[in-house]
Amino acid sequence: MADTADTAHVIIRPPLAWGFAVLAGLALHWLMPLPFLPPDLPAGWLGTLVFALALALVAWAIITMTRAGSNVPTNRPTTTIVASGPYRFTRNPIYLGMFLGLIGLAIAFDTLWLLMMLVPFALVIRYGVVAREEAYLERKFGDIYRGYRSRVRRWL
C-alpha cells in the first residue's frame, strides 16, 4: 500500500476525472446529439489536431517532471519543484493539456456536450485538485514554491 501521508490528498485522480468527463459527454451525445460546428468544417481533422497538441503537451510535461526526478501521479509525493519545460509557462501543463484534449474531442465528435463537460471538469480540477496541490507544495517547499508561484501563472 502506498504511503499517502506526503501527498496533496486530491479528491479524485485527474485522469479519472477526465475519463468521467469524456464518458459523460459522449453518453449525452449518444442520447441527444448537440452538434455545434458548420457541416462543411473538417471537424474530424481539426479535432484530431487539437487533441494531438494536447497529448503532446501532456507528454512533454510528464517527461519533464519524470526527468527532474519527481512523481507525476497525485497519490505519490512530490520530490522537487519543476520549473523547466512547459512548467516555465504554466504551473499546470498536464491539466491544461486535459482541457485542450476535451476541446479536441468536442470538435472531432462535433458535440456540444463535451464542451459543456469542461465546466464540471474544470471546477473539480481547480478546487479538488489544484487548490490541494498548491497548499501541499507550499507546506512542503515553502519559499521555493512561493517563488515559483510568483513567477509562473497557474494556467497561462
* Cα–Cα distance measured from residue 98 to residue 87, given in angstroms and rounded to the nearest whole number: 15
The pLDDT of residue 114 is 98
Q: How confident is the model at residue 1 (pLDDT cuts 50, 70, 90)?
A: very low
pTM: 0.94
**Would you list the domain boundaries of the chain?**
43-151
Residue 3 has pLDDT above 60, yes or no: no
Mean pLDDT of the chain: 96
Number of Cβ within a 10 Å radius of residue 59: 12
* Cα–Cα distance measured from residue 118 to residue 102, given in angstroms and rounded to the nearest whole number: 7
pLDDT digits (tens, 9 = 90+) for 24-78: 999 999 999 999 999 999 999 999 999 999 999 999 999 999 999 999 999 999 9
